[in-house]
Chains A and B, each alone.
Chain A
Amino acid sequence: KAGVTQTPRYLIKTRGQQVTLSCSPISGHRSVSWYQQTPGQGLQFLFEYFSETQRNKGNFPGRFSGRQFSNSRSEMNVSTLELGDSALYLCASSRQTGFGGEKLFFGSGTQLSVL
């Protein structure tokens, strides 16, 4: 079974641009979560989608948005990029949501550098 696939692996953008990151979950998984990881802030939850609906949202500005398609693939968009958006963006999938014991399967992430 293929794992969680994130594309692209690396991305370099300049301030003010926008970026779209893609995540393909494991086949059969309906929940996709996004995280931002930086050395200073650690892992921070962005949002979670389940069956095309946003289920949970973290404390990020509206410049960060996401969506999920009917095949469970998800995209994350960041508009008007700032230097502080430089981070590793991780996607994780799971079969279900709303159950505390769910195991998350993570992709290798997209390393975004904003210059």
Chain B
Amino acid sequence: AQSVTQLGSHVSVSEGALVLLRCNYSSSVPPYLFWYVQYPNQGLQLLLKYTTGATLVKGINGFEAEFKKSETSFHLTKPSAHMSDAAEYFCAVSERDSNYQLIWGAGTKLIIKP
């Protein structure tokens, strides 16, 4: 069965430091991959997605993610963290074999230290 694993329920970085949020998935066919962000008391918002083509995907707010098929990973990065990046981040995957139903990771809360 499809699954999505996000390493670390909480990740803490200093302002200006590199942000790295990890996501691994299990899928037997090429998947569609997503990162969503949820700010406090709000719904989720799409950061970026991979469908086909270039494996390095750029999203909003300076975030990017790289699809690595050999590692079944889709890690999210940002070169320099900002206080406004404090939020919860969700990785999700969908594939044809599961009728494109989104499978979600458990989420990672990103904490930014001043």
Residue in A100, A107, A109 with the greatest tally of chain B CB atoms within 10 Å: A100
Residues of chain A within 8 A (CB-CB) of B95 are 100
Nearest Cβ distance between residue B17 and chain A, in whole angstroms? 26
Contacts A45-B102, A100-B32, A101-B49 known; A108 to B96 CB distance under 8 Å? no
Considering only residues 20-46 of chain B, those with a C-beta below 8 Å from chain A are 31-32, 36, 41-46
A108 B41 Cβ-Cβ under 8 A: yes
How many B residues face the partner with a CB closer than 8 A? 23
Quick one: which of B46, B99, B101 contacts A103, CB cutoff 8 A? Answer: B46
B104 at the binding interface (Cβ < 8 Å) = yes
A90 to B90, CA, bound (A): 14
Q: Contact residues of B with A, CB < 8 Å?
A: 31-32, 36, 41-46, 49, 51, 90, 94-96, 99-102, 104-107
Which A positions have Cβ atoms within 8 angstroms of B? 4, 42-45, 48, 55-56, 90, 92, 97-104, 106-109
Given pairs A42-B107, A107-B43, 7 additional interface contacts (CB within 8 A): A43-B104, A44-B104, A45-B102, A90-B44, A101-B51, A106-B36, A108-B43
